[in-house]
Amino acid sequence: MTDDTAIREAIQGALGEHEVLLFMKGTPEAPACGFSARTVAALQALDAPFSAVDVLPDPRIRQQLSALSNWPTIPQLFFKGELVGGCDIVLEMYESGELAEALGVSTPDDAPDEAPVAAEPGAPPLQIDTSLVKQRD
Amino acid sequence: MPSADQLKTRIEDALPGSRAEVADLKGTGDHFRAVVVSPAFTGLSRIEQHRLVYDVFGAEMGGAIHALSLSTRPA
């Protein structure tokens, strides 16, 4: 079995197993691109449960996924194995209320009307990671 | 590197009767936003509408065109 086949079968398996599945760049805690971040923020504003796949570790994940879904970009949100859309569609559906309906969740009272730009409204403008800065003795 | 005007022309040529407004989001020729109105979108889901636009560019998506944000609606 080639690695491509293994990856394709893993994607198909994940689509069958996880009701709400988001293929994204990075992780929900640390998105690696603005489009993925905004898609995560919309799902979190709805308190919608979802599973996430980081496509960055292996470029073949994107290739196999795009071949399967016939969609060229990341992120890609799936519900019950069917493509809901990318960032643009998810945000439009969030603002129209269609996203909550499609995912079978009710919109929380504190969910903003416009799709949130950042996952944490109170987060500082920059997150600076200093863990690799060597301390002087 | 395509320009916003080139993308607009290509969309309008490929989808007769459509109107496209394309903006270069970063000024670097690789991140664009297109708003497309077309009678070809009538009756299609958002995904199907967006696919029609992405198909105009084919393999360039993810290559020369790093990001193309879309908003589409039927004419």
Burial group, residue B59, by CB count within 10 angstroms (0-12, 13-18, 19+) = exposed
Structure confidence by residue, pLDDT tens digits, A110-130: 999 988 876 555 667 777 888
Give A81-106 as a DSSP string. TEEEE-HHHHHHHHHHTHHHHHHT-P
Whether the CB of A82 is below 8 Å from some CB of chain B: the reply is no
Identify the pLDDT of residue A137.
61
Q: Is A81 a member of any domain?
A: yes
Looking at the predicted complex, does its ipTM rise above 0.85?
Answer: yes
Q: Which residue of B has its CA nearest to A89?
A: B46
Q: How many CB atoms lie within 10 A of CB B8?
A: 19
Cα B44 from Cα A27, distance rounded (Å): 32
Identify the pLDDT of residue B39.
96
Q: Is A79 a member of any domain?
A: yes
Structure confidence by residue, pLDDT tens digits, A82-105: 999 999 999 999 999 999 999 999
Cα A71 from Cα A66, distance rounded (Å): 5
Q: Is A80 a member of any domain?
A: yes
Mean pLDDT of B4-18: 96
Q: Is A121 a member of any domain?
A: no
Whether the CB of A86 is below 8 Å from some CB of chain B: the reply is yes
Q: Work out how many CB contacts closer than 8 A connect A with B.
A: 32
Structure confidence by residue, pLDDT tens digits, A39-75: 999 999 999 999 999 999 999 999 999 999 999 999 9
Protein fold of B4-74: GMP Synthetase; Chain A, domain 3 (3.30.300)
Total count of domains within chain A? 1
CATH of the domain at A37: 3.40.30.10
- Closest CB from A35, A72, A92 relative to B46: A92
CA A26 to chain centre: 9
Q: Is A51 a member of any domain?
A: yes
Identify the pLDDT of residue B40.
95
Would you call B69 and A70 a contact, using CB atoms and an 8 Å cutoff? no
Structure confidence by residue, pLDDT tens digits, B32-72: 999 999 999 999 999 999 999 999 999 888 888 889 999 99
Full-model pTM: 0.89
Q: How far is B36 from chain A (nearest CA, A)?
A: 13
Could you tell me the two tokens for A29?
């805690």
Query: Please, which residues have CB within 8 angstroms of residue B63's CB and are 6 or more apart in sequence?
Result: none
Q: How far is B64 from chain A (nearest CA, A)?
A: 13
**What's the domain range around A65?**
3-103
